Amino acid sequence: MALERTFSIIKPDATRRNLTGAINAKFEEAGLRIVAQKRIHMTKAQAGKFYEVHQERPFYDELCEFMSSAPVVVQVLEGEDAIAKNREIMGATNPADAAPGTVRAEFAESVGENSVHGSDAPETAAQEIAYFFSGIELVG
Ligand code: UDP
Ligand code: MG
């Protein structure tokens, strides 16, 4: 295992319900360190670029509307095996399938409004971090 960084978003359904601290507590309790974090309100075009890998999927337009509907918290999480560890803390995409104790099991409202995003591989983590943060903003 190596020290890794992954990219995370606390989504609009969670910021609306004032869950930023509760979700961050789960990351920190599991040993991930928040090494960069900011609250932003994306335009639909910015959300569309971020999710462009999904542009052919039927839920793409609704997803981009949702992600630009309210502020989000974008963050970089660091730790041993951070990418896989964060996916475990998040739980399955659909909260109905998410393991007990995961963020999505506890907080997600639906498969679309599912409280958190987390990178799925080292390449996407690097790309996603670079989309939102400059090097000087990453403070390990
Ligand atoms: N999504 C959706 N409907 C679906 C599948 C996904 O609205 O049937 C949304 C959901 O917000 C999800 C995001 O699209 O988090 C990206 O999908 P992905 O398959 O990458 O899931 P994730 O990596 O977030 O678990
Ligand atoms: Mg994904």
| Nearest Cα residue to atom 24 of ligand 1 | 117
Catalytic residue among 24, 117, 119, 132: 117
What is the DSSP secondary-structure string of 1-49? --EEEEEEEE-HHHHHTT-HHHHHHHHHHTT-EEEEEEEE---HHHHHH
Residue 1 has what pLDDT?
67
The answer, yes or no, to whether any atom of ligand 1 lies below 6 A from the CB of 109, is no
- 75 strand-pairing partners: 8, 37
C-alpha–C-alpha distance, residues 70 and 37, integer Å: 17
Average pLDDT on 67-93 reads: 98
- Does residue 40 surpass a pLDDT of 90? yes
What pTM did the predictor assign?
0.98
For residue 139, the CA-to-ligand 2 centroid distance in Å is 25
Residue 7 has what pLDDT?
98
Average pLDDT on 12-27 reads: 98
| Nearest Cα residue to atom 9 of ligand 1 | 112
Our CA angle for 14, 7, 122, nearest 5°, is 145
